[in-house]
Chain A
Amino acid sequence: MRTKAKAIGVALAALAVLCAMFATSASAASWKFEGKSLEGSEVVVGAAIDSSLTIPGLTTKCANFLYKLNIKNEGTTGKGEVTELPLYECTTDQPEVCTVKTIAAEKLPWAAKVTTVTTSNYIVIEGIKVAIKYAGIECALGGITVNVTGTAGGLLDNATETATFNSTTFGATKTELKALATKIQWTGLFPTEAFQWHREQALSVS
């Protein structure tokens, strides 16, 4: 009798743990325009309002950080892929030492999906690869191709129609970017705007 009670207790505890796990794990969300679920696909474009990438000891910024994202829904899950990411006018915070010789996104397209963590919606971009070549006779990274690789998770804000990437959003989505085998910081604020069939319509995720 006592054994049965103990077994039920253990089962309930296991159930409680499972429920707790599911409560904190990510779930899916879909793309919506004017509150209606996206059918077919759409092209979203934008330019970073502010974005920087920091390898410990050196921060790189690009004045023109554009992106093109194709989005669609698969069932109730918002999916997409980054197809273009032109980066121009990039500089470092040590301009007298290191300049950016070339910077380019590689292995495009990068897969993207929308995910919900607790109550917030995030876009997670996978398979990121950006190759940066620094120059400068005094630059320790001069001549080395620095590859930024990994995944990035950004918070989608329906009110401002933006995606924000920073250490908090990377932590929430358990994503990380690496360069020189080191975890690096990437911050960015990206407006999201439909460019094809849903121009000037409010883009949201839920």
Chain B
Amino acid sequence: MQKHRRRVVGSALLVVALAALSLAGSAQAKLGGEFTKFANCPYTNATALKCIYSVTESGEVLLGSKKVPIEKPVVLQGAYASPVEEKEEAEFYPFLAATNGITLSKAPQNVPGGILGIVPEASSPFLVKALIKFFLENSLTGVNSTLELAKPASAIRISENNLAGEIGTALQMPVKVHLENPFLGKKCYVGSESSPITWNLTTGTTKPPAPNTPITGSGGEGELLESAKILKLNNNLLVDNSWSAPKAAGCGGILSFLVDPIINAQLGTTTAGHNTAKLKGTLYEASAFTVNKYDKEHP
């Protein structure tokens, strides 16, 4: 009897779960074609001007002496509202968070050399490279670095004219880097909400303090999709090598007073002029009105 009741309850829960999933699915299924990219855009928000979906597919983040290649895609999505300020002759738009809460996706990137930071020379034999990777980048000794927003999405600023015009700051984003490893605990961060890493990413040329030298991004190759309703920028390259980063903190749990200095020694100097961000990917943009209209016309 008890067993039967349990089975009934279990079946009911399964049905509810499936129903919930199908509802969630249908909410997104309305957007078709290239518009599916904007499923998490707050296009029904009256202040939303344009929906944005940007995938960083490659690039690197150099934090002090640690270079982390971007191997797993990172998605920035949401919308931006009417301009709030003018800077460098460009209008800066405030960001609106993605409706699913994932404005910036968390994609853990492997830190070459793991916790010991031993990276073989590029000219090292394959076997040496493989062995170092095996011993130093496994689940115990390996370190993942995850980029996270340090402040609410509303702190992000975007200038579409600078983005397309390859001048000035195109995307300003407060971020923090989450370093993950069983020994580092769950709260090992470089940057925080009160002391974020502020990236002023440009598609133009940077003016960094020494020892860094200017680097140049790219607006990417533009094309218009869906009868000029969607702008796609292929090979969009956003760069910044003028940013500074605070010291790592919270590493090693209760032993952070011991572990933080070790991590900071590994990172080396992280003041402005010693760090670089290069984010290469594809960017999609459409007016929130258009996405909303498409959604209504395709129930």
**Measuring CB to CB, which residues of chain A are less than 8 angstroms from any residue of chain B?**
55-58, 92, 94, 97-98, 137-147, 179-182
Contact = CB atoms under 8 A, between A and B. Distances in A.
A57 B225 contact: yes
B218 A92 contact: no
Given A57-B228, A145-B161, A138 B290 contact: yes
Given A180-B233, A181-B219, A141 B224 contact: yes
Contacts of A140: 224-225, 228-231, 285-287, 290
Q: How large is the interface on B (under 10, 10 to 19, 20 to 34, 35 or more residues)?
A: 20 to 34
A140 to B, nearest CB: 4
Given A147-B165, A180-B164, A141 B219 contact: no
B227 interface: yes
Given A140-B285, A180-B233, A94 B164 contact: no
Interface string B110-148: 000000000000000000000000000000000000000
Interface string B136-168: 000000000000000000000000110011100
A144 B224 CA distance: 13
B221 interface: yes
**A interface, over-half SS:** loop
Contacts of B290: 137-138, 140
B40 to A, nearest CB: 18
B191 to A, nearest CB: 31
A63 B73 CA distance: 45
B287 A142 contact: yes
Q: Which of A139, A145, A146, A180 has the most CB of B within 10 A?
A: A180
B221 A141 contact: no
A56 to B, nearest CB: 4
Contacts of A58: 224, 228
Given A142-B287, A144-B164, A145-B164, A179 B222 contact: yes
Contact of A55 (B222, B227, B230): B222
A141 to B, nearest CB: 6
Contact of B228 (A97, A179, A181, A182): A97
B183 interface: no
Contacts of A57: 223-225, 228
Contacts of B221: 180-182
A97 B219 contact: no
A144 B223 contact: no
A147 B161 CA distance: 10
A181 B229 contact: no
Contacts of A180: 164, 219-222, 233
A179 B293 CA distance: 28
Nearest to B230: A140
Nearest to A146: B164
Contacts of B49: 143
Q: Which of A57, A137, A179, A182 has the most CB of B within 10 A?
A: A57
Contact of B289 (A137, A143, A144, A147): A137
Contacts of B229: 97, 138-140
A137 B229 CA distance: 9
Nearest to B288: A137
Interface string B228-271: 11110100000000000000000000000000000000000000
